């Protein structure tokens, strides 16, 4: 009688095919995790931009100031460049917080949230009537600055390249 079974070559080929399958599954899992993280950051960016827009509407006195005097329009914070925001004034538990102090508090809170929640995050507020660059197929950090343009809240982070990942236009 002749013994039957697998040859060493057949076993090695089967192990190679199994290894390729396991590596492919691992790569797919890693890609899914990256996509999930980017989606979560996109959702957080939308919430952060909406929160800033609501704060600006609540502080209409300051948000309605001319562009040169409006502290909200001066927001251009890059966590990778500027580091963690320094301690700012608080409006919690204070009897009266004037509108300019409230704006400073709002901006500090935005910087802090961006620094804590977004790796290498950046936020900018400006007037921009065309935040989308059709030429490059993505948003752009630059702003038109036109006086009649809507306010644009732009947020980006590591992994979004050199362009904002989320832009919220706020009607004037």
Domain boundaries, the chain: 41-170
Mean pLDDT to the nearest integer, 6-20? 92
**pLDDT surpasses 80 at 119:** yes
Alpha helices in 59-156 (DSSP H): 60-63, 79-82, 99-117
3-state secondary structure of 137: coil
- pTM score: 0.81
For residue range 35-62, what is the model confidence (pLDDT) as tens digits?
999 899 999 999 999 999 999 999 999 9
Spatial neighbors of 91 by CB under 8 A, at least 6 apart, are 97, 101, 102, 105
């Amino acid at each position: 009688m002749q013994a039957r079974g697998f040859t060493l070559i057949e076993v090695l080929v089967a192990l190679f095919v199994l290894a390729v399958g396991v590596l492919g599954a691992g790569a797919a899992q890693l890609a899914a995790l990256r996509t999930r993280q980017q989606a979560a950051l996109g959702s957080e960016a939308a919430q952060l931009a909406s929160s800033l827009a609501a704060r600006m509407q609540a502080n209409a006195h300051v948000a309605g100031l001319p562009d040169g005097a409006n502290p909200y329009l001066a927001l251009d914070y890059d966590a990778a460049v500027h580091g963690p925001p320094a301690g700012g004034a608080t409006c919690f538990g204070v009897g009266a917080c004037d509108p300019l102090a409230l704006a400073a508090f709002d901006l500090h809170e935005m910087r802090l949230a961006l620094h804590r929640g977004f790796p290498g995050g950046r936020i900018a507020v400006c007037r921009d009537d065309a935040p989308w660059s059709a030429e490059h197929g993505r948003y752009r950090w630059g702003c038109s600055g036109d006086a009649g343009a809507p306010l644009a809240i732009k947020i980006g982070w590591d992994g979004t390249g050199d362009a904002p990942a989320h832009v919220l236009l706020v009607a004037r």
